[in-house]
Amino acid sequence: MSHKKESYSSVALFFRFGSKPIKPKAPGGVQPVNQPKTTQIMKNLTLLFAVLLAASVALTACSSSKKLANATKSEQIQTPLSKAKYKTDKTYYRAVQNGTSPDLSTAKRIALLQAKADLASQIASTLKVVSENYTNQRNVDDLSEFEASFDENVRSTTNQELTQVRIVEEEVYKKKKEASYTVWVCVEVSKEVMAEKIADRIGQDNRLKLQFDKDRFMEVFNAEMAKYEQ
List the domains of the chain with CATH numbers: 84-215 (3.10.129)
The dihedral region occupied by 18, where left means phi > 0, alpha psi between -120 and 50, and beta the remainder, is left
Contacts of 213 (CB under 8 A, 6+ apart): 138
The share of the chain scoring above pLDDT 70, in percent, equals 67
Using a 10 angstrom Cβ sphere, with 0-12 exposed, 13-18 middle and 19 or more buried, the burial of residue 183 is buried
Give 212-222 pLDDT, tens digit per residue. 899 999 999 98
Contact 115, 187 (CB under 8 A): yes
Mean residue pLDDT of the chain comes to 79
Of 42-56, 73-87, 206-220, the range with the highest mean pLDDT is 206-220
The one-letter code for the residue type at 23 is: K
Least confidently predicted of 25-29, 102-106, 166-170:
25-29
> What's the confidence (pLDDT) of residue 144?
85
Which of 119 and 11 is assigned the larger pLDDT? 119
Across-strand partners of 170? 185
Which of 157 and 70 is assigned the larger pLDDT? 157
The one-letter code for the residue type at 107 is: A
**H/E element, 100:** strand 92-101
> What's the confidence (pLDDT) of residue 56?
61
Contacts of 151 (CB under 8 A, 6+ apart): 124, 127, 128, 131
